[in-house]
């Protein structure tokens, strides 16, 4: 940062403090962040489409079918080289990395995240990676919001709010659905839905959608025209679709987690790239609808046109063979999450939002097709309506964001004719999925580590607390062979503390010597050489592990032991103490900051 820029920034901040209130500046900042997030979404989308246009041009068209499987490997290899030699830092996976930054890094996202996803995500998706752009778009917007807040010297609470505003702006720009974007930010990032947060989210969402309209016109991502109205006697089938969507959601989440775990245990980045890239290439060669985001397939489904989907592949399925069509569609449901997981495992950058919508649309259409061709039911369901509602079912189950699912699909349809079936399917899918999957696909790994921010205010406060700020290390350390005389002369007299850690020569914690334990014998000089610290110390009621215990676990240990001080070990060696009074004081301060 140049001196000239620093001077300009300093003068601006002084002007801001003199002329703008905090609330006014937050409103202005939210609009700016929405604009930047909208521009990020436009750039990501256009770059991806440009790459896809090049790959589908006349020059490559002749070898396009024969060498279809090569494109994903090429894209993943280029992304690998860019990450290694250009970015040289880890590129987080969209929304999970943003959630981690909010919960554990005080809302601070690295500056490279503002541009790294803009380069790597279009290459991943444009070359056939079976993931979406929504996650990287949200991550880009969130990084812009975080770094803007840091530049303007805003506090952690405001920084988190601007990250949520950026997420709302990104989703608003992508889908041209400003209301759903606000709901998305609240559900996924667990923001408090108050007037103080609503206005910034609204401003960011509005400016982002206007930016999208300015650059992209009236073009929308999903094309749907409601042809069949909701019928009351279809309620039973929407209930069944909700159950079926929940089953697919559980499958989706379990397979995604299992393949992700497999690749995390896979040694060598190049080996992961080759293994995942080759498998992905083979899959998209035999089943082209798995290539890229899949929005063209979704739009075919929403128009009731499966001809291009089932015929344009290795199997060349006849459009009048319903059984083979059903088998192919069911295969798409099973394979999309595998293709997405392979893309991530091989080092690709993207998100799971688009694969979720893809799987949801196929799920709904598949379900309606089964009912319409079943001799058990004399019904003719609207396959396009069920495809649209199926997307809400998968969003509610996989992302565990039922309100986002309802409002997003309602806004896309241009009305609320499907609002009742959306509520039915989304709520059933969410409730069943939540029973088997405590957390959504973004948050599972963070939740297992106790690093997930939720709508539980108490847990949020504990999680946002910094353990280093409550640990006290200025204690005089005793050794087990120190006699009572040494303890009194070198520890008790020189310290204002009433407890002392006993540690061996390797730094391992052995126990605690309390002042009360030796008070009655402190002046018995005949015992000074006879009694050792080893015989005088007592076992700690509980031990806090710096590397493993979350603040919630620490608070629970104090509650169970009724202790006022507990020792802390780090790397299996003594590190310091945490006192209950200091812990509660820190909790109260953080609570005030969080709820401000």
Encoding tokens for residue 424?
């039915």
> Does residue 75 carry a pLDDT above 80?
yes
CB-facing half-sphere around the CA of 489: CA atoms within 13 A: 8
Given this model, what pLDDT does residue 221 score? 73
Largest CA distance in the chain: 102
pLDDT score of 594: 57
Find out whether 143 and 114 touch, Cβ atoms under 8 Å.
Answer: yes
pLDDT of 59 above 60: no
Identify which has the larger pLDDT, 68 or 330: 330
* Phi and psi, residue 540, nearest 5°: -70, 140
Indicate the burial class of 459 (C-beta count within 10 angstroms; 0-12, 13-18, 19 or more): middle
Give the Cα separation of 28 and 24 in Å (integer).
6
The predicted model gives 379-398 an average pLDDT of 90
Domains: count for the chain: 3
**Does residue 163 fall inside a structural domain?**
yes
Stretch 147-164: mean pLDDT: 82
Beta strands across the sheet bearing 544-545? 471-472, 573-579, 565-570, 544-545
CA-closest candidate to residue 354, choices 163, 171, 177, 92: 171
Residues 493, 543 within the same domain: yes
Distance (Å) of CA 186 to CA 160, 166, 250, 392, 541: 12, 12, 23, 17, 41
Task: Give domain status of residue 473, yes or no.
Answer: yes
Q: Is the pLDDT of residue 311 over 70?
A: yes
**Residues 342-362, mean pLDDT to the nearest whole number:** 89
Answer yes or no: do 435 and 390 share one domain: yes
- pLDDT at residue 251 tops 90: yes
pLDDT above 70 covers what percent of the chain? 89
Q: Is the pLDDT of residue 192 over 80?
A: no
**CB half-sphere exposure, 509, CA atoms < 13 A:** 25
Question: Is residue 192 domain-resident?
Answer: yes
47: nearest Cα among 282, 347, 342, 349: 349
The CA distance from 263 to 265, in Å, is 5
How much is the average pLDDT of 452-476?
Answer: 69
Confidence of residue 423 (pLDDT cuts 50, 70, 90): very high
* Residues 251, 362 within the same domain: yes
What's the pLDDT band for 200 if we cut at 50, 70, 90? confident
At residue 548, the 3 state secondary structure works out as: coil
Question: Among 261-265, 401-405, 590-594, which is the least confidently predicted range?
Answer: 590-594
Nearest to 332 by CA among 314, 352, 310: 310
- Section 273-284 average pLDDT: 88
How many other CB atoms sit within 10 Å of the CB of residue 84?
A: 11
CATH number, domain of 317, equals 1.10.3080.10
Query: In this structure, are 489 and 417 located in the same domain?
Result: no
What string of H, E and C letters represents the secondary structure of 87-132?
A: HCCCCCCHHHHHHHHHHHCCCCCCCCHHHHHHHHHHHHHHCCCCCE
State residue 431's pLDDT score.
94
Nearest to 253 by CA among 443, 440, 448: 440
| Distance, C-alpha 349 to centroid of its chain | 14
179 and 239 inside one domain: no
Q: What is the mean pLDDT of residues 377-381?
A: 79
Are 418 and 322 in a shared domain? yes
Give me the pLDDT at residue 270, please. Answer: 81
Q: In the numeric block, which tokens belong to residue 555?
A: 């608070």
Q: Is it the case that residue 207 has pLDDT exceeding 90?
A: yes
Q: Could you tell me which residues come within 8 angstroms of residue 503 by beta carbon, excluding any fewer than 6 positions away?
A: 477, 478, 479, 509, 510, 573, 574
Kindly indicate the confidence band of residue 519, based on its pLDDT and cuts at 50, 70 and 90. Answer: confident
Spatial neighbors of 22 by CB under 8 A, at least 6 apart, are 158
Domain identity same for 545 and 516: yes
Residue written as tokens 């005089």? 476
Q: How far apart are CA 131 and CA 352, in angstroms?
A: 6
568 and 586 together in one domain: yes
Percentage of residues of the chain with pLDDT beyond 90: 15
CA dist 340 to 100, 214, 253, Å? 22, 32, 12
CA angle 208, 213, 214 (to 5 degrees): 95
How far is residue 386's CA from residue 226's CA, in Å, rounded to a whole number?
Answer: 11
Q: pLDDT category, 490, cuts 50, 70, 90?
A: confident
State the Cα–Cα distance between residues 501 and 510, nearest whole angstrom: 8
Residue 462 has pLDDT above 70, yes or no: no
The domain boundary, picked from 216, 240, 272, lies at: 216
Domain check: are 191 and 264 in the same one?
no
Q: What is the mean pLDDT of residues 508-518?
A: 85
**Does residue 221 lie within any of the structural domains?**
no
- Which is it for the CA torsion 411, 417, 419, 422, positive or negative? negative
Contacts of 86 (CB under 8 A, 6+ apart): 119
pLDDT at residue 390 in the model = 94
Domain of 574: which CATH number?
A: 3.10.580.10
Please give the average per-residue pLDDT across 116-139, as a whole number: 87
Q: Tell me if 66 is assigned to some domain.
A: yes
| 511-539 mean pLDDT | 82
pLDDT for the residue 64:
52
Structure tokens at 209: 């959608």
In this structure, is residue 422 part of a structural domain?
yes
- Residue range 469-474: mean pLDDT, rounded: 85
Asked if the structure places residue 260 within a domain, the reply is yes
Sign of CA dihedral 67, 69, 72, 75: negative
pLDDT over 90 at 359, yes or no:
yes
Q: CA–CA separation, 239 vs 543, rounded Å?
A: 50
363 pLDDT exceeds 90?
yes
Residues 384 and 298: beta-carbon distance below 8 Å: no
Q: Are residues 466 and 498 in the same domain?
A: yes
Q: Which domain holds residue 564?
A: 459-595
Please give the average per-residue pLDDT across 505-530, as a whole number: 82
Q: What is the mean pLDDT of residues 198-219?
A: 87
Of residues 588 and 289, more confidently modeled: 289
Q: Are residues 164 and 244 in the same domain?
A: no
pTM: 0.78
Backbone angles phi, psi at 569, to 5 degrees: -115, 145
What's the rounded Cα separation, in Å, for the pair 359 and 362?
5
The confidence band for 458, taking pLDDT boundaries of 50, 70 and 90, is low
* Chosen domain end from 165, 183, 216: 216
Q: Please report which confidence band the pLDDT of residue 62 belongs to, taking 50, 70 and 90 as the band edges.
A: low
Strand bridging mode 499-503 / 565-570: unpaired
Residues 173 and 62 in one domain: yes
Over range 138-160, report the average pLDDT. 83
pLDDT of residue 592: 65
pLDDT bucket at 248, cuts 50 / 70 / 90: very high
Average pLDDT, the chain: 83
Q: State the pLDDT confidence band at 337, using cuts at 50, 70 and 90.
A: very high
Residue 429 lies in a domain: yes
DSSP annotation of 492 reads I
Last residue of a domain, one of 454, 481, 499: 454
């Amino acid at each position: 940062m140049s001196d000239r820029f620093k001077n300009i920034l300093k003068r601006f901040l002084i002007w801001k403090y003199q002329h703008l209130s905090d609330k006014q500046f937050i409103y202005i900042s939210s609009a700016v962040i929405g604009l930047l997030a909208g521009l990020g979404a436009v750039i990501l989308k256009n770059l991806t489409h440009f790459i896809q246009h090049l790959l589908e041009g006349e020059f490559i068209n002749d070898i396009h079918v024969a060498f279809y499987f090569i494109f994903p490997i090429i894209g993943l290899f280029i992304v690998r080289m860019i990450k290694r030699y250009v970015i040289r830092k880890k590129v987080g996976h969209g929304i999970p990395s943003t959630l981690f930054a909010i919960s554990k890094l005080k809302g601070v996202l690295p500056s490279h995240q503002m541009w790294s996803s803009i380069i790597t995500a279009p290459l991943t998706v444009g070359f056939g990676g079976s993931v979406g752009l929504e996650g990287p778009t949200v991550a880009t917007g969130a990084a812009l919001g975080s770094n803007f807040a840091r530049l303007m010297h805003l506090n952690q609470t405001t920084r988190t709010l601007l990250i949520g505003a950026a997420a709302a702006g990104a989703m608003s720009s992508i889908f041209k659905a400003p209301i759903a974007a606000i709901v998305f930010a609240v559900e996924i990032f667990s923001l408090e839905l108050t007037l103080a947060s609503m206005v910034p989210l609204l401003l960011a969402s509005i400016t982002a959608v206007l930016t999208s309209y300015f650059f992209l016109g009236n073009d929308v991502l999903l094309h749907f025209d409601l042809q069949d109205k909701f019928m009351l006697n279809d309620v039973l089938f929407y209930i069944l679709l909700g159950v079926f969507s929940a089953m697919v959601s559980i499958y989706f989440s379990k397979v995604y987690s299992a393949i992700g775990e497999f690749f995390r245990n896979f040694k060598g980045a190049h080996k992961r790239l080759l293994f995942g890239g080759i498998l992905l290439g083979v899959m998209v060669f035999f089943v082209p609808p798995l290539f890229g985001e899949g929005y063209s397939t979704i739009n075919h489904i929403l128009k009731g046109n499966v001809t291009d989907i089932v015929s344009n592949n290795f199997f060349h399925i006849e459009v009048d063979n319903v059984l083979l069509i059903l088998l192919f569609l069911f295969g798409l449901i099973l394979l999309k999450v595998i293709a997405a997981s392979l893309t991530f495992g091989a080092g690709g950058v993207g998100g799971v939002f688009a694969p979720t919508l893809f799987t949801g649309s196929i799920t709904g259409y598949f379900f309606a097709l089964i009912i319409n061709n079943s001799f058990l039911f004399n019904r003719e369901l609207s396959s396009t309506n069920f495809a649209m509602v199926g997307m809400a079912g998968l969003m509610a189950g996989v992302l565990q964001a039922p309100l986002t699912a309802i409002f997003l699909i309602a806004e896309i349809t241009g009305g609320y004719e499907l609002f009742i079936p959306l509520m039915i399917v989304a709520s059933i899918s969410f409730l069943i999925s939540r029973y088997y999957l405590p957390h959504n696909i973004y948050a599972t790994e963070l939740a297992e580590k106790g690093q997930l921010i939720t709508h539980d205010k108490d847990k949020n406060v504990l999680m946002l607390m910094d353990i280093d700020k409550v640990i006290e290390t200025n204690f005089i350390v005793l050794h087990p062979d120190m006699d009572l005389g040494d303890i009194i002369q070198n520890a008790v007299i020189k310290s204002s503390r009433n407890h002392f850690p006993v540690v061996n020569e390797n730094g391992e914690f052995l126990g605690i010597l309390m002042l009360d334990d030796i008070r009655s014998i402190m002046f018995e000089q005949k015992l000074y050489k006879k009694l050792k610290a080893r015989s005088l110390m007592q076992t700690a009621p509980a031990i806090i592990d710096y590397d493993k215990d979350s603040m919630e676990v620490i608070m629970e240990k104090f509650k169970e032991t009724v202790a006022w001080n507990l020792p802390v070990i780090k790397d299996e060696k003594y590190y310091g103490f945490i006192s209950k009074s200091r812990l509660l004081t820190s909790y109260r301060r953080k609570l005030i900051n969080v709820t401000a």
